Structure formats: C-alpha cells, structure tokens
Amino acid sequence: MSLFYAVCKECGYSFKNKYPGIYFCPNCNKEKNFLKLELFDGAKPSKIHEKE
C-alpha cells in the first residue's frame, strides 16, 4: 500500500491523497506549486500471504 501527498515546494505543507499541481497553501497564504511525495510500506502483498 502506498500513500501519496501533495507537498508545498516552499514551506512543506501537505495534502493527503492529492495530485501535484497548483493549490492554495494556507501557510504561505497564496497559490503555490505542490510536488508529489509518495510513501511505500516496502512489503509486497504476495509475499506476506504466502505459506511455506
């Protein structure tokens, strides 16, 4: 499972599950460019559920 965030390029404010683009940033108090930050849990579901 992965989570992704749109993070403000200037101050680091983030929105969960939003795509990168231009959004209003409440910390900067103006529209800013938001970049994508994606986080993974590092596990593959098929390996978790395999039985030996």
Cα–Cα distance, 32 to 27 (Å, whole number): 10
User: Smallest Cα–Cα separation from 2: which of 49, 37, 38, 34?
Assistant: 38
* pLDDT at residue 38, rounded to an integer: 81
Measured CA to CA, the distance from residue 40 to residue 43 in angstroms comes to 8
| Residue corresponding to tokens 């590092």 | 42
Give the CA angle between residues 7, 18, 12 to the nearest 5°: 10
Specify the number of domains making up the chain. 1
Domain span at 23 = 2-48
Q: pLDDT digit string (tens) for 12-28? A: 999 888 888 999 999 99
User: Is 6 a residue whose pLDDT tops 70?
Assistant: yes
Q: What pTM was estimated for this model as a whole?
A: 0.67
